[in-house]
Amino acid sequence: MFVAVALREAVREDLAAFLEPREGMPWVDPAQWHLTLAFMASVPPSRADELVERLAHAAGRVAPFALSLGGAGSFPHAGRASVLWLGVDDAAQDPLARLARACRAAASVSGASPDGRAFVPHLTLARLRRPVEATRWLRVLDAWRAAPFVVDEVELVASFLGEGAKGRPRHEVVAALRLGADALPPGAALREG
């Protein structure tokens, strides 16, 4: 499972239209684009409700904020890139990091330990099987900028490996949690599915 900020549909459509004619990269399916705040490899089923409650409380303590995507990067570096990504604007860095810390703390207390990786806010655009020299691609991606949008909720998402199109993961939103709201009563934000 993971906690993420989903993109607004207008941003998703604009970015997809920008990438569509650019062949030669294994672009991530636009339906799976998100900004991961916390990744939990394992969530004990007996603790899932507690996780939702604690995440709702954590999200409720962070005010909504504006975010814009832009500025390309790669992991581990441009000379041997295995992941291409877009970053977030400077103004969103602090609130996004605060939100990630709150979500990770809520997950830990709930017994769903998040991975220990440092938080680097990014939207993964491509995953490469073999590392490539990506300087040219990063210049192309740098040309795109998103219109700002308000982050007013996070999603708790279950990931089912290999169950999506072309053997990719299938994602299912388990709960939508509002930012800036009072802590929600147990189960209030659970989506039926």
Angle at CA of residue 25, ends 122 and 39, nearest 5°: 30
d(C-alpha 28, C-alpha 166), whole Å: 11
171 is catalytic: no
C-alpha span between 153 and 67 (Å, rounded) = 12
Is 77 annotated as catalytic?
A: no
Give the other-Cβ count within 10 Å of 136's Cβ: 10
In Å, how far are 32, 47, 131 from 177, measured between CA atoms? 18, 17, 36
The answer to whether 38 and 103 are in contact (CB under 8 A) is yes
E strands along the chain, which residues?
A: 2-6, 34-39, 65-67, 69-75, 81-88, 123-132, 149-151, 153-160, 170-178
Alpha helices (H) along 20-153: 48-60, 90-109, 135-142
Positions marked catalytic: 34, 122
